[in-house]
Amino acid sequence: MAIALPDRAAGELDSALAPLRLAWPELRWTRRDAWHLTLAFLGEVEDRVTGDLAVRLERAAARHARLSLALGSAGAFPGAGNARVLWTGVQGDRRGLAALAASVAAGARRAGAPPASEGRRYEPHLTLARCRVPADVRTLVATLADFTGTPWTASEIYLIRSRPQDEPRYETIGTWPLRARAASLPG
């Protein structure tokens, strides 16, 4: 379950990463067409669960307002000195994003598809690169520390399925709109 990036946000990030990809060829850089913000990673989901999962995701999305988000900064898992994953963070309505992630994870559990990341604190990020062996990416993290993308409004959630190949390919199973924010009334 994820939120897609708009073209403008992806383009800005892609431009910022272009010189870094050339300077760090040993990393496995994720492709722009695979970028998304994961809300809950489910692992393998049986087809019989998908229908109930769709209903629960639709309900979860309807309970949460659209989110103002932006990409920015950088970090690494488990740490920049011995990274397996290089990422950029998410700024903006992080509290709303965490609440949405908790809601879709709860819906997945009720549908019979417990998230593989259950029990871990939600850390919103977008994976930029993976390291075959732990790597020291402190220079990359420092270089990307000041990156701040243009804010955008996330208006829907996606259920995507990974199709493993050399690099993951994603197939959209369904999309559900987030609730529009109520308009402010004149005082």
Q: What is the 3-state secondary structure (H, E, C) of the chain?
A: CEEECCHHHHHHHHHHHHHHHHHCCCCEECCHHHCEEECCCCCCCCHHHHHHHHHHHHHHHHHCECEEEEEEEEEEECCHHHEEEEEEEEEECHHHHHHHHHHHHHHHHHHCCCCCCCCCCCCCEEEEEEEEEEECCHHHHHHHCCCECCCEEECEEEEEEEECCCCCEEEEEEEEECECCCCCCCC
What are the extents of the domains in the chain?
2-177
Model pLDDT, residue 55: 93
CATH of domain 2-177: 3.90.1140.10
- The model's pTM is 0.88
List average pLDDT for each run of 10 residues in the chain, which is 187 residues long: 95 97 95 93 79 92 97 96 97 96 92 76 94 96 96 95 66 91 56
